[in-house]
Amino acid sequence: MNSEIAFQFLGVCIVAGPALLLALFGTTSLINKPLGERLIAQATQTVVVMGLFASIAVLVLMLTLGKRYVPVEMGNWVVLPEQHFHFHLKFIFDRLSIPFCILSFILCGTVGAFASRYLHRESGYNRFFICYALFLLGMIVSSLAGTIETLFFGWELVGLSSALLVAFFHERLNPVRNGLRIWSIYRIADAAFLVAAIMLHHLTGAGDFAELMGTGSWPDGQATISEQHALIIGLLLLFAAAGKSALVPFSGWLPRAMEGPTPSSAVFYGSLSVHLGAYLLLRVSPILELSPLLSLAVILLGLVSAIYGTLVARVQTDIKSALAFASLTQVSIIVVEIGCGLRYIALIHIIGHACLRTLQLLRAPSLFHDYHSLENAIGAHLTQKPSLWVRIMPERYRVSLYRFELERGYLDMLCNRFIITPFVGLFRYCDSLESRWTNLISGEDQRESESVSPVSDSLEDN
């Protein structure tokens, strides 16, 4: 009983810290009295340290007691008896959630400390840390989610903060345009996630991962649905993971996301957010075992995305885009590992790659300075030997391949034509219908015609 109380207390501390941080920054901004830079940095550091120590305490307590699965119940927040639906807030501590939670706190703390100096005297300093707190809360909720609707809630918070930080420099056109593009792709991927969650509710009676896995904790659980249902739900979740992790065909938005500040690029598209799709596949990995066809689809998508990322990364002319496609390559390899059933290897790969890529992206602003300093020190340009492909491939094939890589596989054009443009057009049409309907109900059209008619009469008299 004492251990259950301890787990409950620590779980509340882990989740409540980022929530209170977001409430503090948001409330002070709403009343137009934002905190100073020093207070913001200190509050962020306090919350991250508190959450990190609480997560480590949970890990030590689980190892001491020999537990592999500990649920923390938060009760039903929404209950619809007629529709047989309830939003059950539940967090779980297991061998997947705890490492990912600790990783989130460590990398968010590192990026937060870097951003407090990198964005010093920046006019959007307070706005950045509001989005940062929103992202931190979304990552912790996603990491510890015990039900698919809780995971979807954290997933949405991460997507919202991602789009806002890509469009951080909103006085320029390109960041806003790229933020809207990312938000559009996220909406489409999230729709697939939502459909999969509804199907799981109908099939299992709840969105609880414990109900879905049947017996055993991660990664030893066995899904309790049929192979046909596993294939349909798994493909929907794979589609959602592809949108969140920029796998083919959604890879075009990843370099566009680098329009945001370097700290957000590091924590989003180098370390945490870009791995969230792979985390989703790890969480529902027992479903993959039920359908060999689904596992094959995961492996093929990962291989295609890895090859694409490797080729395109070689022709990028800026360091952040090159690192973005390098991240895509590694995330794709992680997806292949998940499809092959190598779950612990995939988890270790996520942790190692996230730490490495965060360091590289935080070093990106000063990398070229160090590069030129090295060339000045040796008194010559650094040379590189031609690769094997350059030596064995005919020139005309190399030119064609180079153009394909330079155009990023034409995925941007295809995404614009078949995904973004129809999506935006549909919602603009819905917005126009809503405006007409609200104007009709409120009588706005009639008042406008009455206000226009005297003017037209006076013009006719003149």
Q: How far apart are CA 157 and CA 282, in angstroms?
A: 20
> Is residue 125 domain-shared with residue 258, that is, in the same domain?
yes
User: Where do the H-state alpha helices sit in 314-420?
Assistant: 319-339, 343-378, 388-392, 395-406, 411-415
Number of domains in the chain: 2
> Is residue 342 domain-shared with residue 436, that is, in the same domain?
no
> Is residue 308 domain-shared with residue 425, that is, in the same domain?
no
The answer to whether residue 339 scores a pLDDT higher than 90 is yes
The answer to whether residue 216 scores a pLDDT higher than 80 is no
All residues at 6 or more sequence positions from 319 whose CB lies less than 8 Å from its CB, including other chains: 364, 367, 368
Q: What is the mean pLDDT of residues 236-261?
A: 92
The answer to whether residue 1 scores a pLDDT higher than 70 is no
Question: Is 405 within a domain?
Answer: no
The alpha-carbon radius of gyration of the chain (Å, integer) is 25
All residues at 6 or more sequence positions from 243 whose CB lies less than 8 Å from its CB, including other chains: 185, 186, 188, 189, 190, 192, 250, 277
> Is residue 419 domain-shared with residue 362, that is, in the same domain?
no
Between the alpha carbon of residue 397 and those of residues 202, 368, 387, 389, the distances in Å are: 52, 31, 15, 11
The answer to whether residue 324 scores a pLDDT higher than 50 is yes
Q: Rounded to 5 degrees, what are φ and ψ at 122? A: -75, 135
> Is residue 308 domain-shared with residue 219, that is, in the same domain?
yes
Q: How far apart are CA 33 and CA 27, in angstroms?
A: 9
Q: What is the mean pLDDT of residues 82-99?
A: 81
> Is residue 242 domain-shared with residue 323, that is, in the same domain?
yes
pLDDT band with cut points at 50, 70 and 90 for residue 462: very low
Exposure string over 24-58, b if 16+ CB within 10 A, otherwise e: bbeebeeeeebbebeebbebbeebbebbbebbebb
The answer to whether residue 458 scores a pLDDT higher than 50 is no
Q: How far apart are CA 65 and CA 301, in angstroms?
A: 40
pLDDT band with cut points at 50, 70 and 90 for residue 104: very high
> Is residue 332 domain-shared with residue 245, that is, in the same domain?
yes
The answer to whether residue 292 scores a pLDDT higher than 90 is yes
The answer to whether residue 449 scores a pLDDT higher than 90 is no
pLDDT band with cut points at 50, 70 and 90 for residue 453: very low
Domain limit, last residue, from 368, 401, 420: 368
Collect contacts of 156-160 with beta carbons under 8 A, ≥24 apart: 156/190, 158/273, 158/276, 159/183, 159/186, 159/190, 159/244, 160/134
Question: Is 382 within a domain?
Answer: no
Q: What is the mean pLDDT of residues 19-46?
A: 95
CB atoms < 10 A from the CB of 206, how many?
Answer: 19
Per-residue model confidence as pLDDT tens digits over 373-406: 888 888 887 777 777 777 788 888 888 888 888 8
> Is residue 256 domain-shared with residue 127, that is, in the same domain?
yes
Q: How far apart are CA 310 and CA 304, in angstroms?
A: 10
Q: How far apart are CA 299 and CA 145, in angstroms?
A: 25
> Is residue 358 domain-shared with residue 441, that is, in the same domain?
no
The answer to whether residue 108 scores a pLDDT higher than 90 is yes
Q: Report whether 80 contacts 120 (CB < 8 A).
A: no
Question: Is 400 within a domain?
Answer: no
Structure tokens at 21: 């941080």
CB atoms < 10 A from the CB of 234, how many?
Answer: 25
Domain limit, last residue, from 368, 386, 401: 368
Helices 343-378/276-283 angle, 10° precision:
160
Q: What is the mean pLDDT of residues 59-84?
A: 80
Question: Is 403 within a domain?
Answer: no
User: Helix or strand or coil: residue 385?
Assistant: coil
Residue 131 confidence (pLDDT): 96
The answer to whether residue 452 scores a pLDDT higher than 50 is no
User: Helix or strand or coil: residue 85?
Assistant: strand
Q: pTM of the prediction? A: 0.89
Domain limit, last residue, from 316, 341, 368: 368
Give the range of the structural domain holding residue 427, as residue numbers without chain letter. Answer: 410-461
The answer to whether residue 71 scores a pLDDT higher than 60 is yes
Question: Is 9 within a domain?
Answer: yes
Between the alpha carbon of residue 429 and those of residues 11, 424, 426, the distances in Å are: 44, 9, 5
CB atoms < 10 A from the CB of 361, how many?
Answer: 28
> Is residue 160 domain-shared with residue 222, that is, in the same domain?
yes
Question: Is 381 within a domain?
Answer: no
pLDDT band with cut points at 50, 70 and 90 for residue 459: very low
Question: Is 266 within a domain?
Answer: yes
The answer to whether residue 226 scores a pLDDT higher than 90 is no
pLDDT above 70: percentage of residues in the chain = 92
> Is residue 279 domain-shared with residue 422, that is, in the same domain?
no
Cis peptide before 219 (omega within 30 of 0): yes
Residue 243 confidence (pLDDT): 94
Residue 446 confidence (pLDDT): 55
Residue 379 confidence (pLDDT): 83
Question: Is 390 within a domain?
Answer: no
Phi-psi region of 66 (alpha: psi -120 to 50; beta: other; left: phi over 0): left
Q: Report whether 162 contacts 271 (CB < 8 A).
A: no
Q: Among 58-72, 108-122, 369-383, which stretch is predicted with the lowest mean pLDDT?
A: 369-383
Helices 444-461/421-442 angle, 10° precision:
80
Stronger pLDDT, 435 or 332, i.e. the higher one: 332
> Is residue 71 domain-shared with residue 181, that is, in the same domain?
yes
